[in-house]
Amino acid sequence: MRELKVLCIQLGFGPQYPDMSTLATTYNDGIYYVASFLQRAIPQVQIEMCQMFWGEDPLTFEIGTYDYILVSALGTHFWSNLQLLETLQARKREGARIIMGGPHATFAPYEALKYADFVVLGEGEIPTVQLIEALESGEGLDEVENLCYLDGDQVLVMNRFVRYGNLDNTIDPSLLKRAPRLHWATVSMSRGCPFNCSFCYAIRVLGRRFRAKSLKSIVTELDGIHQQTGCSRFYVTDLNFTTRPEFCASVAYELRHRNYHFIAMSRIEVADDTTLLLGLKEVGFQEYCLGVESENAAVLKAFNKSVDASRQMERLLRLAQCGIYTHSAIIFGLDSQDLETMSQTARWCAEARIMHPTFVCLAEYPFQKLLFGSRQDVEDHRIIMEIPTYQHYSFVGIFPRRMRPSRLQQAILDSYQTFFKRALEIEQEPQRRMRLKCYARSVAESVRGMKTHIEALRKIEAPYYSSDEQLDEDMLKDSFERAHGHLRKQLETSIRREPGFLTAFKA
């Protein structure tokens, strides 16, 4: 194979849609795993990284010199950078290809393909190598897994979808050579989660089969990133790190002599195993992003969340007593959640001693049932189309039935005020109070963007709500059909080879 130049771009947030979370990572790890795998699989590849999260500008690179440009994006990144994507298409050299992956490309390939030549759905390492090898050899594309593209008749083609076994892939630390001083470095130690919460897009990308990396790979990766960047704090992006206690115990044993610190995602049941919890804490697992979502049993049931709501307070308090800091997304947007309910939930978060709640809007991508046979909690017509809200839940992206979108956005802002007021009344420990105040400053960074979004929502929602904030759903459906009905018809004619996210794992 000839020598190839590849530019990998991680798109960033737009100024009006910042990520207010304290877990806003300084890079998304997905494209680094793809780049690392590609570099090992095809030695002739020369890779450069462009990380917009660090303020790097793709247009300062010599776009016309690359053979392939790989782009990764969440929905907010995509819709915040359309002009950039147009410029990349215009400046790439003849014969060069743009390949887009990540969550947005996976769930809205028809949008990504307006700016990309190919889309990779789901896990990207093996399909990206397959695609480049097929293009370089002149072979057909039928055998490239997880591939989506437009054929000569502009029909959407979706190849066989595969979730892979234990790739044991690690980030090449040299890809982080231009990293600034990092607050957190992101890594994954496993993929998959055995649960099936309806709102979880990550499950639909990575599947329900838990696949752990080898302990040797995990330690090597952490040490390599630490040596390259100096960062000793890691955000573990696993969907549910504590799925297998024996795996966690083995990780703790291997890390016992290192002074690293971690935030890991988990379910709240981790509080039931205090031996494991304290063992992990000793080696640096002092914070968890927990799948709490709500204190209300009916809300949890609506989301197919198999957890005992009556025990959430007890478990959260136990975590606080063990000196664990907890983060959690709290989801609003169901018809049953009125303003008073949301205010009560915000107070409950304080009383349960959640340290970093993120109040978010239930959000969906449109056409998921049509394309992938996936459940949707919000119907296509109630999704506000083509704005940076997909997978950026802090910004409202739906038409609620009993509340204007702008009012729901304001309620999210109000919930933070309710939470901080009550939390600072309850918390007496100086370190926890300091963390609360730091988090309040972080939230304040997003207020301007949310208020700007409220003004945009008021214009969008104006025709569809009565004076008492009831949605005229028939009018909304008619408007949706006029604007997007043609797109649905196009998607209905797509060619799907073993479509959907239900395909068995490949060994």
Assess if residue 466 is contained within a domain: no
pLDDT at residue number 505: 45
CB–CB of 35/64 below 8 Å?
no
Assess if residue 177 is contained within a domain: no
pLDDT at residue number 205: 87
Assess if residue 469 is contained within a domain: no
Same domain, 189 and 156: no
CB–CB of 191/244 below 8 Å?
no
SS (H, E, C) 157-188: EECCCCEECCCCCCCCHHHHCCCCCCCCEEEC
pLDDT at residue number 503: 44
The Cα–Cα gap between 444 and 465 comes to 30
- CA distance to 187, 231, 252, 288, 290, per residue, from 324 (Å): 21, 21, 16, 7, 11
pLDDT at residue number 165: 84
pLDDT at residue number 507: 40
The Cα–Cα gap between 335 and 403 comes to 9
pLDDT at residue number 202: 84
CATH code of the domain in which 81 resides? 3.40.50.280
By DSSP bridging, strand 190-191 and strand 211-212 are antiparallel
pLDDT at residue number 501: 57
pLDDT at residue number 391: 79
Same domain, 208 and 152: no
pLDDT one digit per residue (tens) for the chain, 507 residues: 799 999 999 999 888 888 766 555 568 899 999 999 999 999 999 999 999 999 999 999 999 999 999 999 999 999 999 999 999 999 999 999 999 999 999 999 999 999 999 999 999 999 999 999 999 999 999 999 999 999 999 999 999 999 898 889 999 999 999 999 888 999 999 999 999 888 888 888 888 899 999 999 999 999 999 999 999 999 999 999 999 999 999 999 999 999 999 999 999 999 999 999 999 999 999 999 998 999 999 999 999 998 899 999 999 999 999 999 999 999 999 999 999 999 999 999 999 999 999 999 988 899 999 998 888 889 999 999 998 888 788 899 999 999 999 999 999 999 999 999 999 999 999 999 999 999 999 899 889 999 999 999 999 999 999 999 999 999 999 999 999 999 999 999 888 776 565 444 454
pLDDT at residue number 498: 63
Assess if residue 475 is contained within a domain: no
Same domain, 80 and 208: no
- CA distance to 30, 35, 99, 189, 272, per residue, from 171 (Å): 9, 8, 20, 11, 33
User: How many structural domains compose the chain?
Assistant: 2
Same domain, 187 and 323: yes
Assess if residue 169 is contained within a domain: no
The Cα–Cα gap between 477 and 472 comes to 9
CB–CB of 286/239 below 8 Å?
no
Strands (E), 60-122: 68-72, 97-101, 118-120
The Cα–Cα gap between 130 and 128 comes to 5
pLDDT at residue number 340: 97
Same domain, 149 and 209: no
The Cα–Cα gap between 177 and 173 comes to 7
Give the domain range for residue 295: 183-461
The Cα–Cα gap between 481 and 440 comes to 42
Instruction: Please count the residues of the chain.
Output: 507
CATH code of the domain in which 452 resides? 3.80.30.20
Residue with tokens 């990380």: 51
Assess if residue 85 is contained within a domain: yes
pLDDT at residue number 500: 60
Contacts of 246 (CB under 8 A, 6+ apart): none
